[in-house]
Amino acid sequence: MNKWVYSFKEGNADMRNLLGGKGANLAEMSNIGLPVPQGFTITTEACTRYYEDGRKINDEIMAQVMEGVANMEEINGKKFGDLKNPLLVSVRSGARASMPGMMDTILNLGLNDEVVAAMIAGNPDPKFERFVYDSYRRFIQMFSDVVMEVGKKYFEELIDKMKAEKGVQYDVDLNAEDLKKLAEQFKAEYKKQLGEDFPSDPVAQLKLAIEAVFKSWDNPRANVYRRDNDIPYSWGTAVNVMPMVFGNLNDQSGTGVAFTRDPATGEKKLMGEFLKNAQGEDVVAGVRTPMPITQMEQEFPEAYEEFIKVCETLENHYHDMQDMEFTVENKKLYMLQCRNGKRTAPAALKIACDLVAEGHKTEEEAVAMIDPRNLDTLLHPQFDAEALKKATPLGKGLGASPGAACGQVVFTAESAVEWAEKGKKVVLVRLETSPEDITGMKAAQGILTVRGGMTSHAAVVARGMGECCVSGCGDIVMDEANKKFTLGGVTFNEGSEISIDGTTGNIYEGIIPTVDATIAGEFGTIMSWADKYRTLKVRTNADTPADAKKARELGAEGIGLCRTEHMFFEEDRIAAFREMICSDTAEEREEALNKILPYQQSDFEQIYEAMEGCPVTIRFLDPPLHEFVPTEEADIKKLADSKNKSVEEIKTMIDSLHEFNPMMGHRGCRLAVTYPEIAVMQTKAVIRAAINVQKAHPDWDVKPEIMIPLVCEPKELANIKKVVVNTAEAEIEAAGVSINYEVGTMIEIPRAALLADEIAKEADFFCFGTNDLTQMTFGFSRDDAGKFLQAYYESKIFENDPFAKLDQNGVGKLMEMSIKLGKPVNPDLHIGICGEHGGDPASIEFCHQIGLDYVSCSPFRVPVARLAAAQAAINNKKKGCDEKVEEFIKGAKEKAKEAAGDAADAAKKAADVAKEAAKGLAKTGEKVAEVAKDMAGVAADVAVAGAKAGVAGAKAFAEEAKKTFNENKK
């Protein structure tokens, strides 16, 4: 029989996976002697079984639940459903990862009309009667809402009506008779909504409540929270059943929530709120304005004094800031929950540093305790917290690039530039962005798109610039022709005010004030610790000197991806590139490209300067040519004039560039095969720039890495490499200098991964372009996948967007295969990742595990990657230590068992010899028998001594194991 239910005395903090965070911590608090109402936890495995059984609680689980209830009855001296001395319980969720407010709680369970009447009959005090009816109406409302899905609003309307009739402001001002009427009205509303009476059997109530908590694991808000926080659906939630303690019993009772440190700033001081004569939901829901926790000292001095001691005990025990819920019933304190508290990014850094200074944590432990994703908020403007609380989102897209932006709506890149030049703040709203929009994107405060996912053009470019972006808001009805769109019933015209949150994806009407990002002094400390422990290098994806400089400031150790195509869109060079596209001969193309060459060279020189001798990987031209051609009539006419062609001829050439599937079309290395003169021009620019910067800085090691994109065939790379090498060597010889460079490729097509051993013969390095590799492996268009991924989440096919979080099973397997095939062929091969996954913490851990040399991400994700890389190294080291300790303990157990067995055998043999000797000698007479008796005693002593030796041996092994464990832990 499986064990599905554990009493609090049977669990501990290490059983988090089985008991959930809340259950494990309730058990731990019980074990260290804190005042916890003694209940039980139904395991996460029971939740999984519930779903496997078609959303039903099986008889075995329910039988163990009722055993847990019986145990509670015995401890508390009350009976569940009893009329004389009823036991009332709370039923609360508790997943292994903290999910505040995402799942459900039911309080005061076990009440019905008979129990209520019996309780009141046993205590004639009018205040007690009020308490009973208050608890009953709360239970009916909570049970109806959480368990039976009858909306809160029906009950809140009845409460508001009652308060209006009585002329009072707060629930606490209603008397017993009012609350009794409310309870009757609530039951009537329940019957009206569901067509059946409110359930009166406490056991039926309990089963339905447990089912409701299990169901809440799969509710929409929990699913979204899990996806945002990388919590697997398979974990399930535990359920905690506890005896009720009543903060709403009387004025000698109350309830509160507190933190051992300030969760906003990290300051070491008790923070929290407390409400007299209330239950926990009142504090959280804001039904009444609570008092500061310190005021509790005046109201309940003894309970407050004990609570202060509990806070100290918990923080010293868990070595972290604690978030606690508690209730005072008749001046007696009860702890209902503790957990490591959620905190802002500045608070997280301060708390981590303070805990090291106070001796609670080592540097490694401090690095490991910070969520890398939180660092985003340190580097970008955010909405004012108070103003945000008052705002209601009109809609939601994907939080593609963090930060907050507000301004007037514009619909074109040109308008964005024009308005920004007049000093106006604008938000650029597009169906989707293209490389042509880059100047408008730079001018805008933020970018909002209707289409596109986390790796769409808008998302990638915005992250690179550190600009707020919300992408893929499919609820927007766009009318670009008339420069307006509709969202959530509101129409936005050009000039309308809008606010967007690039962290959450929320979109608001009007202007919400923002606050600038501030980097606390602790930031540098944590980053220095992270750099001490990580082994993965961290580079950046940067296309401009400004991006490169910012990334270097944030700790980048090189450039892992410089996209050269973005340089072509500048006003002074796009015309020449369009001339190249519309040329008829190689000579004409070379003539046009020579106009661009000085610009490219200048760009590269500035990037080398910004990176101060760190490696720079330059990707040769990747997008299809149709992305560069003009679309406006005036631009087409200008191009036609420059090429001495008619407008119709140019339009025909532009039409010929159209492709049905451009992402798999004439792009990447295919352009260099078709037009080698492009590769020649880019090689000249790369090498000439390197020569100039190396001369200016002899102490630097300027070593460009030329990266050929979209290779799928070894001969393809060999063909282009030959062009690159011949051009580079000619430039180096002409300059009369010595300079090193490398030629490598992106692995972004599954066939390239399969042929990695062949490709490695030609490549100096591999870099995984996981945006395209994900696209090609799944067969999803990264710009269109957002349209159907929601259905995949709801059907539990996917738990995450594969473009945001690396698919380790499929794409990851191709990456691992590439490394295993490539390294033996070319031991000097260095390998990195430059897709957007390079800035995702979970993906970075995988990159560490498979042996990459570096990750590369957008500049503002560099600190995130540094921290995540350190955590990956620390986790890997810890995992290795744990395995070593487990192996040692296993060996020690076997040795101890063997020693004990040897001792037992020796004792048995000695006893047998003594027995036989005694038998023989007894025949010779009583005197000799006495000698035999002495010998038997000696044999017994030998047996005891042998057993003791076995025990001593086992103890020695145990001590050795403990010593080894502690050494490995350090």
The pLDDT, as a whole number, for residue 956 is 67
Kindly report the backbone phi and psi dihedral angles of residue 521, in degrees, each rounded to the nearest multiple of 5, phi listed first.
-60, -30
Tokens coding 358: 């106070």
Q: Would you say 554 and 531 are in contact if contact means Cβ atoms under 8 Å apart?
A: no
Residues linked to residue 499 through DSSP beta bridges, in sequence order: 406, 508
Tokens coding 637: 């006419």
Q: Would you say 500 and 429 are in contact if contact means Cβ atoms under 8 Å apart?
A: no
Please tell me the distance from the alpha carbon of residue 574 to that of residue 572, in angstroms, as a whole number: 6
| CA nearest neighbour of 680 among 726, 719, 614, 643 | 726
DSSP state of 147: I
The question of whether 834 is a catalytic residue gets the answer yes
**Helix%, strand%, coil% for the chain, nearest 5:** 55, 15, 30
DSSP state of 90: E
Per-residue buried b or exposed e for 725-758, using 16+ beta carbons within 10 Å of the residue's own CB: eebbeebbeebeeebebbbbbbbbbbebbebbbb
Residues linked to residue 493 through DSSP beta bridges, in sequence order: 484
Please tell me the distance from the alpha carbon of residue 152 to that of residue 157, in angstroms, as a whole number: 9
The pLDDT, as a whole number, for residue 965 is 60
DSSP state of 450: S
Please tell me the distance from the alpha carbon of residue 696 to that of residue 605, in angstroms, as a whole number: 11
- For every residue of 779-843, DSSP letters joined together read T--TTTTHHHHHHHHHTTS-SS-TTTS--TTTHHHHHHHHHHHHHHH-TT-EEEE-SGGGG-HHH
Angstrom CA distances, 120 to 114, 123, 127, 250, 556, stand at: 10, 5, 10, 14, 70
Residues linked to residue 203 through DSSP beta bridges, in sequence order: none
Length of the chain: 970
Q: Would you say 471 and 398 are in contact if contact means Cβ atoms under 8 Å apart?
A: yes
The pLDDT, as a whole number, for residue 920 is 60
Q: Where are the alpha helices (DSSP H) in 199-343?
A: 202-216, 220-228, 280-285, 296-299, 301-318
Burial of 322 (0-12, 13-18, 19+ CB in 10 A): buried
* pLDDT tens by residue, 191-246: 999 999 999 999 999 999 999 999 989 988 788 778 877 888 899 999 999 999 99
Residues linked to residue 292 through DSSP beta bridges, in sequence order: 273
The pLDDT, as a whole number, for residue 491 is 96
Per-residue buried b or exposed e for 767-797, using 16+ beta carbons within 10 Å of the residue's own CB: bbbbbbbbbbbbebebbebbeebeeebeeee
Tokens coding 509: 């009407």
pLDDT under 70: residue ranges of the chain = 100-103, 283-288, 435, 454-456, 464, 518, 520, 880-886, 892, 896, 900, 903, 907, 910-911, 914, 917-970
| CA nearest neighbour of 7 among 243, 211, 215 | 243
| CA nearest neighbour of 746 among 562, 502, 514 | 562
The pLDDT, as a whole number, for residue 538 is 97
Q: Would you say 351 and 261 are in contact if contact means Cβ atoms under 8 Å apart?
A: yes
The question of whether 457 is a catalytic residue gets the answer yes
SS3 call for 472: coil
| CA nearest neighbour of 209 among 195, 197, 199 | 199
Kindly report the backbone phi and psi dihedral angles of residue 438, in degrees, each rounded to the nearest multiple of 5, phi listed first.
-60, -40
SS3 call for 369: coil
CA dihedral 397, 400, 406, 412 (to 10 degrees): -90
Please tell me the distance from the alpha carbon of residue 832 to that of residue 851, in angstroms, as a whole number: 9
Pairing mode of beta strands 404-410, 426-430:
parallel
- Of the listed 47, 338, 353, 457, which one is catalytic? 457
Please tell me the distance from the alpha carbon of residue 869 to that of residue 965, in angstroms, as a whole number: 25
Residues 6+ apart with CB under 8 A from 258: 270, 271, 272, 273, 274, 293, 307, 311, 323, 324, 326
Please tell me the distance from the alpha carbon of residue 826 to that of residue 589, in angstroms, as a whole number: 36
| CA nearest neighbour of 500 among 469, 535, 477 | 469
Please tell me the distance from the alpha carbon of residue 445 to that of residue 514, in angstroms, as a whole number: 12
pTM here is 0.79
Tokens coding 218: 């799969």
Q: Would you say 245 and 271 are in contact if contact means Cβ atoms under 8 Å apart?
A: no
- Of the listed 834, 837, 847, 848, which one is catalytic? 834
The pLDDT, as a whole number, for residue 161 is 93
The pLDDT, as a whole number, for residue 84 is 84
